[in-house]
């Protein structure tokens, strides 16, 4: 079975500051990793994904994440945040194989960007 831990439930930050949202996972098999963002009263939007290849993944809106297999982490970073980045962010894993279509999510991190 897979599990995902998002280490911070809330992250406050000032506009134009850098931010890192932390995500650790556990799995007995190879996993595929995702970060999603959810704005109030909306569904989830994919920010970026790691399926294979380069461990540094670039996504939309200036976000990037690095897959670290030895530390079982997939932290999300942005060098300079904007007010519009205020939202809830979810890290998720999918194991593939017989678990196709089954995402396991972390508890979410609420990012609040202050002016």
Interface residues toward another protein, by CB under 8 A: 32, 34, 36, 42-46, 49, 51, 90, 92, 94, 96, 98-108
The residue (of 15 and 22) whose beta carbon lies closer to another protein is 22
The residue (of 50 and 81) whose beta carbon lies closer to another protein is 50
Q: Least distance to another protein from the beta carbon of 51, Å? A: 6
Measure Cα distances from 45 to 38, 53, 69 in Å. Answer: 6, 22, 25
The residue (of 51 and 56) whose beta carbon lies closer to another protein is 51
Which burial class, exposed, middle or buried, applies to 59 when counting CB atoms under 10 A from its CB (0-12, 13-18, 19+)?
A: middle
Distance CA 4, CA 32 (A): 12
Q: Least distance to another protein from the beta carbon of 20, Å? A: 21
Q: Least distance to another protein from the beta carbon of 108, Å? A: 6
CA atoms within 13 A on the CB side of 93: 24
């Amino acid at each position: 079975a897979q599990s995902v831990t998002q280490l911070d439930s809330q992250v406050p930050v000032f506009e134009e500051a850098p931010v890192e949202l932390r995500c650790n996972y556990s799995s007995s098999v190879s996993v595929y990793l995702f970060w999603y963002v959810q704005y109030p009263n909306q569904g989830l939007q994919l920010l970026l994904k790691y399926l294979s290849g380069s461990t540094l993944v670039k996504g939309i809106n200036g976000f990037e994440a690095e897959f670290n297999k030895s530390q079982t982490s997939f932290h999300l970073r942005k060098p300079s945040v904007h007010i519009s980045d205020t939202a809830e962010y979810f890290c998720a894993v999918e194991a593939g194989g017989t678990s196709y279509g089954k995402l396991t999510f972390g508890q979410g991190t609420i990012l609040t960007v202050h002016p």
